Chains A and B, each alone.
Chain A
């Protein structure tokens, strides 16, 4: 009795299955693009918006164009003698110098490798060019720090809030006092 039921349901079932395959599962996209050549995909300029606190500028230094719009840009790679002498580059200094990251014509912007100009509040995209794994972790909150509400509005601290871009290594901190040893408890 069970075998009969199975057999009666089997054929219509298989027919329905193949019908579904033919109609529903076949992707429509290749049919549309058959006539056109494949276009390369271009990533959008800003992948996602992040709420970041104000970048930690040295007080009085921003906007940089206040001094720099009158000065003639000098693209020669050199050690700076007149100004900004307090900045010692300790971050791939053999491969780069100032104007590889800072834009030569507009000092209020940073420069990506593609030539794109970005603002200082988007500096994570610049860091992410070389430090892709950290950038991916930062985007999901595993690297770096977020403040605010765990289930609400957050502020993602920029890379430069913790890492000085010219000398990014963390400096050791003084630890706070250890707990009282039990034998010292009065």
Chain B
């Protein structure tokens, strides 16, 4: 029966303040990696933002990532951080009079950019629209699956990240894990992203995708030529998106993106907007060009046009 004596002499003395301090210390210790975790886990935990890292720090990080990925996928994986080419601003053209909706671009992108197969992530979404109603996004069919395309009376419009000049996604990121590079590509530092998905809410084109689970990427299908800001294998809980195949286009000389190369009807055009001789400049100057959701003032660098 509790009496005054036992209340005055408790079995062990602890004030509430002391208890809270102790609990906070324990939680803080639990948040750190385990004592016996490999050095790479400690290093990735304390890794700086991509833009803050010095060159030797970055090289160390790339070496660590190459080692990790090579072990995991049992092939010689390269992770590069090729900087942007001077005097280049990438632009993309999509010829709506040619696209037949075959979706070869979707799967070429999946192959090139090491996207998760299960759960499924596609950077490109092809919409089937009615010729009579024109570009009416609310009337678009995403899951069309006829035996042959194109279907009569329909035209097809693929949508992917438009690499906007005034991107709403980079404005809302609370940790600045996503930003627009000098050559116009909007990139994500997967080690800095906290997975809040605010950028996904901000994007008007539905171009950003989240890794809800650990990405299922079979080792046999993995593309070993990767870029830190592009197609290196992503962890769970980060946002990813089309980066105009940054691992391809920034090389000197740069290859075309995977979607441009695979398109069987030549509906996709890619080039440097600052080069007056490029095909994308010719398209903007000579063809009927429009951009999606122009009223939102995102200024995308992805131009839909009609060549005929």
Q: Do A and B bind each other?
A: yes
List, in ascending order, chain A residues with CB within 8 A of B275's CB: 151
Could you write out 13 A-B pairs with CB less than 8 Å apart?
A143-B307, A148-B256, A149-B253, A149-B255, A150-B271, A151-B272, A173-B102, A174-B147, A175-B101, A175-B149, A177-B103, A178-B103, A178-B143
List, in ascending order, chain B residues with CB within 8 A of A144's CB: 266
Tell me, yes or no, whether A28 is within 8 Å of chain B by CB. Answer: no
Q: Indicate whether A178 sits within 8 Å of B144 (C-beta atoms), given known contacts A142-B279, A172-B149.
A: yes
Residue of B nearest to A172 (CB): B148
User: Considering the chains assembled together, what is the distance between the CA atoms of A125 and B254 in angstroms?
Assistant: 29
B145-157 vs A: 1/0 string, CB under 8 Å? Answer: 1111110000000
Interface, chain B (partner A; CB < 8 A): 85, 88, 93, 95, 100-104, 106-107, 119-120, 122, 125, 142-150, 249, 252-256, 261, 263-266, 269-272, 275, 279, 282-283, 286-287, 307
Q: Indicate whether A177 sits within 8 Å of B282 (C-beta atoms), given known contacts A142-B287, A150-B256, A152-B254.
A: no
User: Considering the chains assembled together, what is the distance between the CA atoms of A88 and B230 in angstroms?
Assistant: 48
Given contacts A142-B269, A146-B256, A151-B88, 19 further A-B contacts (CB under 8 A): A143-B307, A145-B263, A147-B256, A148-B256, A151-B252, A151-B275, A152-B253, A153-B253, A157-B266, A173-B100, A175-B103, A175-B149, A176-B106, A176-B107, A178-B143, A179-B106, A179-B122, A179-B142, A180-B120
List, in ascending order, chain A residues with CB within 8 A of B269's CB: 141-142
Chain B at the A interface: SS class: loop
State how many angstroms separate the Cβ of B241 from the closest Cβ of chain A. Answer: 15
User: Considering the chains assembled together, what is the distance between the CA atoms of A177 and B101 in angstroms?
Assistant: 11
Q: Are B270 and A150 in contact (CB under 8 A)?
A: yes
Q: Indicate whether A170 sits within 8 Å of B271 (C-beta atoms), given known contacts A148-B255, A149-B256, A179-B142.
A: no
Q: Indicate whether A177 sits within 8 Å of B149 (C-beta atoms), given known contacts A145-B263, A150-B272, A151-B254.
A: no
Tell me, yes or no, whether A185 is within 8 Å of chain B by CB. Answer: yes
Q: Which of B102, B143, B256 contacts A176 (CB 8 A)?
A: B102
Interface, chain A (partner B; CB < 8 A): 137, 140-153, 157, 162, 170, 172-181, 185
Residue of A nearest to B266 (CB): A145
Q: Are A140 and B279 in contact (CB under 8 A)?
A: yes
User: Considering the chains assembled together, what is the distance between the CA atoms of A39 and B227 in angstroms?
Assistant: 59
List, in ascending order, chain B residues with CB within 8 A of A150's CB: 249, 253-256, 270-272
User: Considering the chains assembled together, what is the distance between the CA atoms of A145 and B265 in angstroms?
Assistant: 7
List, in ascending order, chain A residues with CB within 8 A of B266's CB: 143-146, 157, 162
User: Considering the chains assembled together, what is the distance between the CA atoms of A153 and B251 in angstroms?
Assistant: 13
User: Considering the chains assembled together, what is the distance between the CA atoms of A7 and B269 in angstroms?
Assistant: 58
User: Considering the chains assembled together, what is the distance between the CA atoms of A148 and B255 in angstroms?
Assistant: 6
Q: Are B102 and A175 in contact (CB under 8 A)?
A: yes
Q: Indicate whether A177 sits within 8 Å of B145 (C-beta atoms), given known contacts A141-B282, A150-B270.
A: yes
User: Considering the chains assembled together, what is the distance between the CA atoms of A75 and B294 in angstroms?
Assistant: 59
State how many angstroms separate the Cβ of B120 from the closest Cβ of chain A. Answer: 5
Q: Are B125 and A179 in contact (CB under 8 A)?
A: yes
Q: Indicate whether A137 sits within 8 Å of B103 (C-beta atoms), given known contacts A175-B149, A178-B143, A185-B119.
A: no
List, in ascending order, chain B residues with CB within 8 A of A141's CB: 269, 279, 282
Q: Are A151 and B143 in contact (CB under 8 A)?
A: no
User: Considering the chains assembled together, what is the distance between the CA atoms of A173 and B252 in angstroms?
Assistant: 35
Q: Indicate whether A162 sits within 8 Å of B265 (C-beta atoms), given known contacts A151-B254, A176-B107, A178-B142.
A: yes
Q: Are B279 and A173 in contact (CB under 8 A)?
A: no
Q: Which of B101, B107, B253, B283 contacts A151 (CB 8 A)?
A: B253
List, in ascending order, chain B residues with CB within 8 A of A174's CB: 102, 147-149
Q: Are B282 and A140 in contact (CB under 8 A)?
A: yes
Q: Are A170 and B265 in contact (CB under 8 A)?
A: yes
List, in ascending order, chain B residues with CB within 8 A of A177's CB: 103, 145
List, in ascending order, chain B residues with CB within 8 A of A157's CB: 266
State how many angstroms separate the Cβ of A160 from the closest Cβ of chain B. Answer: 14
Q: Indicate whether A178 sits within 8 Å of B145 (C-beta atoms), given known contacts A142-B287, A172-B100.
A: yes
List, in ascending order, chain B residues with CB within 8 A of A145's CB: 263, 265-266
User: Considering the chains assembled together, what is the distance between the CA atoms of A147 and B269 in angstroms?
Assistant: 11
Q: Which of A142, A149, A176, A181 contacts B307 (CB 8 A)?
A: A142
Q: Indicate whether A175 sits within 8 Å of B120 (C-beta atoms), given known contacts A140-B279, A150-B272.
A: no
State how many angstroms separate the Cβ of B304 from the closest Cβ of chain A. Answer: 13
List, in ascending order, chain B residues with CB within 8 A of A172's CB: 100, 148-150
